[in-house]
Amino acid sequence: MVNILITGGTGYIGSHTAVLLCEAGYNVHIADNFANSDPGVLNRIEQIIGKSIHFSEVDLTSSEDLDLVFKNNTFDAVIHFAGLKSVGESIKEPLKYYNNNISSTMNLLNSMHKHNVDKLVFSSSATVYGECKIVPLEETFPIGQTTNPYATSKFMQELILRDVAFASNLNVVTLRYFNPIGAHTSGLIGENPKGIPNNLCPYITQVLSGKLEMLSVFGDDYETDDGSAIRDYIHVVDLANGHLKAIEKLLQTNSSTSYNAINLGRGIGVSVLEMIKTFENATGRKVPYRVTSRRQGDLPVSYAATDKALNELDFKAERSIEQACRDSWNYQEEFNKTSASKE
**Residues in contact with ligand NAD by the rule CB under 6 A:** 8, 10-14, 32-37, 59-61, 81-85, 100, 104, 123, 125, 177, 180
Q: Is 289 strand, coil or helix?
A: strand
**Is 243 among the residues that bind ligand UD1 (CB under 6 A)?**
no
Pick the piece of the chain touching ligand UD1 (CB under 6 A) from 6-14, 239-247, 292-300, 304-312. 292-300
12 catalytic? Reply is: no
Backbone angles phi, psi at 17, to 5 degrees: -70, -40
**Whole-number Cα distances in Å, 167 to 103, 247, 256, 262:** 19, 21, 11, 21
Pick the piece of the chain touching ligand UD1 (CB under 6 A) from 166-174, 209-217, 257-265, 276-284. 209-217
Catalytic residue chosen out of the listed positions 129, 150, 177, 303: 150
Q: Binding ligand UD1 by CB under 6 A: which of 38, 226, 298, 307?
A: 298
**Cβ atoms of 219 and 229 closer than 8 Å:** yes
User: Cβ of residue 286: shortest distance to ligand NAD, in angstroms?
Assistant: 26
Q: Is 311 strand, coil or helix?
A: helix
Q: Binding ligand UD1 by CB under 6 A: which of 229, 234, 317, 324?
A: 229
User: Cβ of residue 36: shortest distance to ligand UD1, in angstroms?
Assistant: 13
Give the integer Cα–Cα distance in Å for 327 and 329. Answer: 5
User: Which residue, 306, 318, 207, 229, is CA-closest to 274?
Assistant: 229
User: Cβ of residue 291: shortest distance to ligand UD1, in angstroms?
Assistant: 9
Give the integer Cα–Cα distance in Å for 98 and 86. Answer: 12
Pick the piece of the chain touching ligand UD1 (CB under 6 A) from 25-33, 166-174, 194-202, 249-257. 194-202
Taking phi over 0 as left and psi of -120 to 50 as alpha, with beta for the rest, 230 belongs to beta
Q: Binding ligand UD1 by CB under 6 A: which of 62, 99, 186, 198?
A: 198
Would the CA dihedral through 27, 115, 247, 123 be positive or negative?
positive
Please give the positions annotated as active site: 150
Which residues are at the interface with ligand UD1 (CB under 6 A)? 87, 125, 127, 151, 179, 198-200, 203, 215-218, 229, 231, 272, 295, 297-298
